[in-house]
Structure 1
Amino acid sequence: MNGTRTVKLGALALATALLAGGAWLAQSGLKRLAFERQQAAQLRQSLDSARSLMPEVEQRERLMQSLKQVAQQVDRLGFDPAQWGERKLRRTTGPATRVEAAQFLGELGRGGAGSIFVADLFEVATLSPETGLFQMPQPGDKGLTLGASGTLYFQTVSVAPPPRTMP
């Protein structure tokens, strides 16, 4: 009888050891599962963040392509930035006569093809509601409001036009 009791106790000890090992493996698996779930949540958050940035990345990529095209066109036209200068211009919006407006606009265009005005703000309007910008002033015309700000680019070196080639 003692032998069967020993076998039963041995089997019980073995079952207890297997149960303890299984419990330890289950606990280890649960810890690993919790860690993996936390990593998955962080990765999903990173993925969502990356997806939200995609429109900006695509916009910057389009901008870079546009800049490359402009640079290629500038090279093709033989434009040399070292031959151009720039000046910031600003005329606060305020009353002006038609003569003053014509003089101001004439000054902007005086450089011809050798100057370019890039406006950040340009405003011209009549003060009289019955008078148009492109009509002869009527009696009682109150003049204009004129305002502009921007950058005037101008050539600092005169450049001869490229020779024409005959086909």
Structure 2
Amino acid sequence: MNATRALKLVSLALATALLGGGAYMAHKGLKRLAFEQQQHAQLQQAVDNARRLIPEVQQREQLVRSIKDVSMQVERLGFDPAQWGERRLRRAQGPATRAEAAQFLGELGRGGAGAIFVADMFDLATVSPEASLFHPPQPGDLGLTLGVSGTLHFQTVSALAPKVKP
């Protein structure tokens, strides 16, 4: 019996050791699984962020292509940036008569092909709700409001004609 008992104790010890080793491996595997799940969540978040940025990247690529196209056209037409100057213009939003508005807007366009106005903000409106910008003022018309800001680009060197390259 002693040998049988010793065999049972050795078997029990071996089974206990295997069970302990298995529990240790399971615990270690669960910790590794939790770490891998955390890594997966972080990587998935990075992928989602990258996917959200794709439209912006595509828009920027389109902008770069447009800029290159415009640059090629400018070069083909012979425009030289050194022959152009710029001036910031600003007229604060405020009341104006139709004559003042017409004079201001006429002066913006007076430079012809040698001047280009690029507006950052342009607001022209009638003060009276029933008035129109496109019809003569009626009695009781309260005038307009006019506000403009932007950059006036103008030629500093007279050019006879644009040079067109084939």
The TM-score range, normalised by the shorter chain, is 0.7 to 0.9
Please show how residues 74-93 of structure 1 align to structure 2 within 5 Å. 74-92=74-92, 93=94
Q: What count of residue pairs does the alignment treat as equivalent?
A: 163
Instruction: Please report how far the alpha carbon of residue 120 of structure 1 lies from its aligned counterpart in structure 2 after TM superposition.
Output: 2.6
- Equivalent residues of 1:131, 1:141 under 8 A apart: no
Give 2:96's aligned residue.
95
Gaps of 5+ in 1: none
Query: Residues 37 and 130 of structure 1: is their aligned pair in 2 closer, same or farther, counting only changes over 3 Å?
Result: closer
Distance 2:122 2:12 in 1: 95
Please show how residues 61-140 of structure 1 align to structure 2 within 5 Å. 61-92=61-92, 93-98=94-99, 100-125=100-125, 129=130, 133=134, 135=136
Query: Residues 50 and 138 of structure 1: is their aligned pair in 2 closer, same or farther, counting only changes over 3 Å?
Result: closer
- Post-superposition Cα deviations, 1:68-122, rounded to whole Å, max 9, x if no partner, equal 2222222222222121111111223322252x44433332222221111112333
Instruction: Please report how far the alpha carbon of residue 138 of structure 1 lies from its aligned counterpart in structure 2 after TM superposition.
Output: 7.0
**Structure 2: which amino acid aligns with 1:160?**
L
Query: Residues 160 and 37 of structure 1: is their aligned pair in 2 closer, same or farther, counting only changes over 3 Å?
Result: same
Distance 2:42 2:144 in 1: 62
**Structure 2: which amino acid aligns with 1:94?**
P
**Structure 2: which amino acid aligns with 1:158?**
S
SS in structure 2 opposite 1:79? coil
- Equivalent residues of 2:77, 2:164 under 8 A apart: no
Alignment root-mean-square deviation, CA: 3.0
Query: Residues 132 and 39 of structure 1: is their aligned pair in 2 closer, same or farther, counting only changes over 3 Å?
Result: closer
Establish whether residue 40 from structure 1 lines up as the match of residue 40 from structure 2. Answer: yes
Query: Residues 69 and 32 of structure 1: is their aligned pair in 2 closer, same or farther, counting only changes over 3 Å?
Result: same
Normalised by the length of structure 2, the TM-score is 0.77
Identity value in percent: 66
SS in structure 1 opposite 2:79? coil
Query: Residues 140 and 23 of structure 1: is their aligned pair in 2 closer, same or farther, counting only changes over 3 Å?
Result: closer
- Post-superposition Cα deviations, 1:45-88, rounded to whole Å, max 9, x if no partner, equal 22222222333222222222222222222222222212111111
The more displaced of 137-146 and 49-58 is 137-146
SS in structure 1 opposite 2:89? strand
The more displaced of 49-58 and 31-40 is 49-58
- Equivalent residues of 1:86, 1:153 under 8 A apart: yes
SS in structure 1 opposite 2:158? coil
